[in-house]
Amino acid sequence: MAVIDLGELRDDVASDAPGRAPRAVGRLVRVLVVLLVALVTLASATPPARPAQWTVPGGTGASAFVSGDRVYVVRPLDWRPGALREVVAYRAGRERWRSRLPSPGEVVSVWEMGDRVLAVGPNGPDQAWQTVVYETATGRLSWRQPALAYPSGDALLLQPTSTVGPQEARRVAVADGRILWAAPATEDLRFVLGPSGVERLVVVPEAGETVVLDAVTGDRLAARDLHPGEPPTQRRVLTPGDLVLEIREDGVTAYQGATLRPRWTAELPLVDGVDTCGGLLCASRQTGGMWALDPATGAVRWTVDRWAGVLRADGGRLLVGAGDRGDDHLAVLNGSDGRLVAEFSGWRVVPPYDFGDRLFLTRLLRDGRLLLAEPDLPGGVLPVRSVLSGVDCSASRALVVCRDGDGDFAVRRLP
């Protein structure tokens, strides 16, 4: 609140004449009138401050999703098995629109792309997936397709999950579902994810050519038989960064993602998974711990036995979990040598909704509330952002939402 200093007011000012206001008081009244007019004008021109926190209705079977500065609540219309559900959009605590899902089924993800909002989940008793798209501003149904949708730049990649309907992986326009290109979808198809969503597709058959497709154009980038003359076998392939990795019991072989040319082989037994971690690759062991590999050569840069699973990389530091201590024990490692920088005991990760969203952690307090912190990995500290009430929290860049004891959703704006 702004405070304006008008000076000292005294009540011993001499009158110029009976019944006439003193000149100083008269001037003060005129100044106050001018100031009041100015303040009223400014107040009418400035939008009202948005609330810092609010509650939106939930109820049994309801789920809340955050995208940008909106909260989307998906709730059943009644409590009978197989009941239809509706999507309700809220912004700053006010309901903006509500729209029914066209068929029964769960919703496991809701997110915005441009002027559309997508609701995706398994549909019906066969658990095939559907994607339903609404106008963000009005909630009017735009289109729907029986497929699982992934963001891919400014479009979507749809993957069929049912034996009924088109068996094609297809890139479609977000606004109207118009097909931009399509390719046969098989069990051998892998989607390669990056910062913009699906960036490439890799077809990995049990025998014959492995094929890499561009996700934007559908063009074939590379095709190569990685095991000529060998008998058919199911192969385990991962696609971190710009590499295609084949995982075997005794090691890992890396191929260049755009050309499928061999890059290196590392003898690493019992690899559970591989992902990028800053400028390196982090390979988790099935028995716990992980190796950090040079992505250019496959050489092991460092190894740790206690920590596994990289949650976030920033400023040369890695936020990792403890495979043998549970998901409420986290640590910060130095990315170049694996040195332990800090440990965070009792903290859990708040699931972010979108790739690149801010990462938050919560820790349960004795009174049942949650301490919300945002890790500063370069500094190795946990600045506290807020204290929350509720459970099952999730966050976007702007908002955090938690289910309260009554089944509704408490929403707080993030600093």
CA distance 204 to 247: 13
Phi, psi (degrees; rounded to nearest 5) at 391: -140, 175
Is 175 a domain residue?
Answer: no
Among 285, 337, 275, CA closest to 312: 275
For residue 112, what are the CA distances in angstroms to 78, 92, 195, 275?
Answer: 26, 17, 16, 26
The parent domain of residue 294 ranges over 268-344
Is 409 a domain residue?
Answer: no
Q: Which of 324, 344, 364 is the last residue of a domain?
A: 344
Can you give the pLDDT at residue 125? 64
Count of positions (residues) in the chain:
415
Q: What is the pLDDT along the chain (415 residues), one digit of tens a residue?
A: 332 222 333 333 333 333 333 343 344 334 333 333 333 333 334 444 567 889 999 998 999 999 988 999 999 998 887 789 999 999 999 999 999 999 888 899 999 999 999 999 998 666 689 999 999 999 999 999 989 999 999 999 999 887 776 688 999 999 999 999 998 887 788 888 888 899 999 999 999 999 999 999 999 999 999 999 999 998 899 999 889 999 998 899 999 988 999 999 999 999 999 999 999 999 999 988 999 999 999 999 999 998 988 999 999 999 998 765 556 789 999 999 999 999 998 999 998 777 667 899 999 999 989 999 999 999 888 999 999 988 889 888 889 999 998 899 999 998 8
Number of domains in the chain: 2
Is 378 a domain residue?
Answer: no
Q: What is the largest CA-CA distance in the chain?
A: 116
Question: By three-state DSSP, how is residue 26 classified?
Answer: helix
Pairing state of beta strands 317-322 and 209-214?
Answer: unpaired
Residue indicated by tokens 């549970």:
326
Is 332 a domain residue?
Answer: yes
Token duo for residue 39 = 């303040």
User: Strands (DSSP E) along 51-115, which ranges?
Assistant: 53-56, 63-67, 70-76, 85-91, 94-100, 109-113
CA distance 329 to 382: 14
Is 307 a domain residue?
Answer: yes
Among 228, 256, 239, CA closest to 202: 239
Cβ-contact 387, 372 below 8 angstroms: yes
Token duo for residue 185 = 């979808």
Cβ-contact 318, 332 below 8 angstroms: yes
Is 26 a domain residue?
Answer: yes
User: Strands (DSSP E) along 77-188, which ranges?
Assistant: 85-91, 94-100, 109-113, 116-123, 128-135, 141-145, 148-152, 155-159, 168-173, 179-184
Is 286 a domain residue?
Answer: yes
The residues facing 283 across adjacent strands are 274, 291
Question: By three-state DSSP, how is residue 32 classified?
Answer: helix
Among 220, 157, 236, CA closest to 212: 220
CATH number for position 281:
2.40.10.480
Contacts with 86 (C-beta within 8 Å, 6 or more apart), sequence order: 74, 75, 77, 98, 99, 100, 101
Is 169 a domain residue?
Answer: no
